[in-house]
């Protein structure tokens, strides 16, 4: 017989509020480290000025208890729930929703979502309306990844169903054309998440998941690691720059995740995140 682990929903609630408190005011430390490196080597005054501002902001935001970006985004969660884990107390979904709602109140975050997309677009003021991706995994654990995804960078996503004849150079060209083409709109320097393979919807989820990998990590498959490097250097070679102003880095990292796909298909999804890259994870 299997062991079942019982976890109190209050613990998940507490952890989520705490996680939100860590990320609303401070971008990913790995992003800040990359920005520090670029800033130290930057010779263009405008790009240097903007990079310094980004670093200064990260310090001010937490000290002042202000969000590092006014767009506190859509809360996006990836949850891996162990099949032998049982949550007692409130159900998992309402625990997540009420924890986010509490975090939104506690940290004075902006309500940025609307009830429906086309007619009234009325702002939702009483809940955080998260996007949640569930996965059931073997074991007893509960792994939660939480991101605050701003709208400006999210709008600059793209999806292609490419012909299978597309080669490595074709993928590089497609991604570079897109990231350079959107210019200053997603708040560069950006993180580029790429979902390659899967099907229509899973490639998009992969691209989002790729964004939440540790920033700047190397892909375990050397062929994809090389592809990531090639795309990154080509994006930066084109010189769109910080905020699209023509100098400094356009992208900080390119991260690819792959999945098996149909013999007829080569799906490519691109999801961008701004330099105010806010995400964290915890395990219960």
Partner 1 sequence: MKTHKISLPLSSENILSLSPGDKVLLTGTLYTARDKAHRRLVDLIQQGKPLPLPLSETAIFYCGPSPIPPGKICGAIGPTTSSRMDTYTPTLLEHGLKVMIGKGERSATVKEAIKQHQALYLVATGGVSAYLSTHVTKFELFLWPEFGAEAIYKMEVVDFPCYVSN
Annotate the chain with DSSP letters as a single string. ----EEEEHHHHHHHHHHHHHHHSS---HHHHHHHHHHHHH---HHHHHHHHHHHHHHHHHHHHT--SSS---EEEEEEEEETTEEEESS-HHHHHHHHHHHHHHHTT-----BSSSSS--PBP-S----EEEEEEESSS-EEEEEEEE-HHHHTT-EEEEE-TT--HHHHHHHHHHHHHHTTTTT-SSEEEEEEEES-HHHHHHHHHHHHTSPTTPPPSSHHHHHHHHHHHHHHHHT---GGGSSSS-SEEEEEEEEE---TT-EEEEEEEE-SS-EEEEEE-
Establish if 36 lies at the interface with partner 1 (CB under 8 A): no
Establish if 243 lies at the interface with partner 1 (CB under 8 A): yes
Establish if 4 lies at the interface with partner 1 (CB under 8 A): no
- Which listed residue (7, 20, 235, 276) binds partner 1 by CB under 8 A? 276
Q: CB under 8 A: which stretch of 79-87, 159-167, 170-178, 269-277 binds partner 1?
A: 269-277
CB of 125 to partner 1, least distance (A): 7
CB of 65 to partner 1, least distance (A): 6
- Which listed residue (69, 147, 211, 232) binds partner 1 by CB under 8 A? 69
Q: CB under 8 A: which stretch of 86-94, 148-156, 211-219, 259-267 binds partner 1?
A: 148-156
Q: CB under 8 A: which stretch of 103-111, 134-142, 165-173, 195-203 binds partner 1?
A: 103-111
Establish if 56 lies at the interface with partner 1 (CB under 8 A): yes
Site residues for partner 1 per CB under 8 A = 25, 27, 45-46, 49-50, 53-54, 56-57, 60-61, 64-72, 108-112, 121, 123, 125, 150-152, 155, 183-187, 242-246, 274-276
């Amino acid at each position: 017989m299997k062991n079942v682990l019982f976890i109190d929903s209050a613990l998940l609630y507490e952890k989520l509020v705490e996680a939100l408190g860590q990320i609303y005011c401070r971008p990913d430390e790995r992003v800040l480290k990359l920005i520090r490196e670029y800033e130290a080597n930057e010779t263009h005054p405008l790009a240097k000025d903007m990079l310094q501002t980004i670093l200064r902001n990260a310090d001010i935001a937490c000290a002042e208890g202000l969000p590092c970006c006014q767009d506190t985004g859509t809360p996006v969660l990836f949850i891996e729930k162990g099949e032998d884990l049982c949550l007692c107390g409130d159900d998992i979904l309402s625990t997540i929703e009420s924890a986010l709602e509490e975090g939104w109140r506690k940290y004075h975050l902006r309500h940025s979502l609307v009830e429906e997309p086309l007619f009234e677009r009325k702002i939702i003021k009483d809940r955080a309306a998260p996007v949640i991706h569930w996965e059931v995994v073997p074991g007893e654990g509960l792994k939660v990844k939480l991101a605050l995804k701003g709208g400006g960078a999210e709008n600059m996503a793209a999806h292609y169903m490419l012909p299978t004849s597309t080669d490595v150079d074709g993928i590089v060209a497609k991604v570079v054309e897109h990231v350079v083409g959107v210019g200053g709109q997603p708040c560069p320097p950006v993180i580029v998440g790429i979902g390659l393979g899967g099907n229509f919807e899973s490639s998009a989820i992969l691209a989002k998941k790729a964004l939440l990998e540790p920033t700047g990590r190397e892909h375990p498959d050397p062929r994809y690691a090389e592809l990531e490097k090639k795309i990154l250097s080509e994006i930066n070679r084109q010189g769109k720059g910080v905020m699209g102003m023509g100098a400094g880095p356009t992208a900080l990292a390119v991260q690819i995740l792959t999945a098996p796909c149909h013999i007829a298909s080569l799906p490519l999804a691109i999801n961008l995140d701004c330099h105010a890259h806010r995400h964290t994870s915890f395990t219960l």
